């Protein structure tokens, strides 16, 4: 857990937004097409409260335990604000981490978007549970663009086929792809991974099977979000650059 330092969080967020805008302009893109998901996995509730007050409405978690705790505390906080007309009423929670099938139900009760669908069996389970809950969550398919065997994500060669299967599931909205670059300081390696994700994204988008909802490319974290923006990311998932100096 990091100590909350209000002004530092807002300073860091401002700097990140400036960097995103600069990367957009280098790439000739509109900044409006890039959404920031603030990853709260290392944040305490005071820090989360601050980030919501700063206007962030999309928050991400990767582990169910912290997810449940932070989401519950955030609900309490949002309810306290109810009297204030300008206050945020709702946060969109994103599940960004590896998801086990036996956790799907608990996650779907909190998250409106799941970024980490990487097997047919997981997709089927989310589809079943969503049907029982009467909801239709947004999902992204996680692709392993780095080829590292220890990483989650569907292998590049199997991505199009899995996407075709997911689109047929009536309780899921397949809105795009998610990927993680390898942990390296070598920017060329990181960029190559994002370029690969973008290519697969375009390839799947060209398929007749997917709908026009398939628009999101979730890639870029604290260390590599500027490269991700240059290569076409529409959703960034940033945690430590906001919460830990």
- Annotate 65-101 with DSSP letters as a single string: HHHHHHHHHHHHHHHHTTTSTTS----EEEE-S---G
Q: In this structure, are residues 224 and 183 in contact, taking their beta carbons and an 8 Å threshold?
A: no
Distances (CA, A) of 147 to 108, 121, 142, 208, 230: 29, 21, 12, 27, 21
96 lies in the site for ligand PLP, by CB under 6 A: yes
- Which of 16, 97, 204, 214 contacts ligand PLP by CB under 6 A? 97
Q: In this structure, are residues 24 and 229 in contact, taking their beta carbons and an 8 Å threshold?
A: yes
Near ligand PLP in 147-176, by CB under 6 A: none
Pattern 111-150, ligand PLP, x by CB under 6 A: ----------------------------------------
Stretch that binds ligand PLP, among 6-14, 16-24, 69-77, 216-224 (CB under 6 A): 216-224
CB-nearest residue to ligand PLP: 239
Near ligand PLP in 52-81, by CB under 6 A: 62
Complex with ligand PLP: residue 160 or 222, whichever CB lies closer: 222
Q: Would the CA dihedral through 153, 194, 238, 88 be positive or negative? A: negative
Task: Catalog residues that contact ligand PLP under the rule CB under 6 A.
Answer: 39, 41, 62, 96-97, 180, 221-223, 237-241
């Amino acid at each position: 857990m990091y100590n909350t330092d209000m002004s530092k969080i807002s300073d860091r967020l401002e700097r990140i937004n400036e960097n995103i805008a600069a990367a957009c302009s280098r790439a000739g893109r509109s900044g409006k097409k890039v959404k920031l998901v603030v990853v709260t996995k290392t944040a305490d509730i005071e820090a989360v409260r601050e980030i919501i007050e700063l206007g962030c409405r999309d928050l991400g978690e990767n582990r169910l335990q912290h997810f449940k705790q932070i989401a519950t505390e955030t609900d309490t906080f949002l309810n306290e604000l109810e009297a204030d007309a300008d206050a945020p009423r709702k946060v969109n929670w994103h599940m960004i981490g590896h998801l086990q099938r036996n956790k799907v139900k608990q996650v779907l009760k909190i998250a409106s978007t799941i970024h980490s669908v990487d097997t047919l069996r997981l997709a089927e389970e989310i589809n079943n549970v969503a049907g029982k809950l009467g909801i239709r969550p947004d999902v992204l398919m996680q692709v392993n663009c780095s080829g590292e065997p220890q990483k989650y994500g569907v292998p590049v060669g199997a991505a199009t086929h899995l996407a075709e299967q997911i689109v047929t599931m009536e309780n899921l909205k397949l809105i795009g792809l998610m990927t993680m670059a390898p942990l390296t300081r070598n920017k060329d390696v990181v960029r190559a991974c994002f370029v690969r994700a973008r290519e697969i994204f375009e390839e799947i988008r060209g398929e007749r099977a997917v709908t026009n909802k398939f628009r999101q490319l979730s890639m870029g974290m604290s260390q590599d979000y500027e490269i991700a923006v240059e290569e076409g990311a529409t959703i960034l998932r940033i945690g430590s650059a906001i919460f830990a100096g």
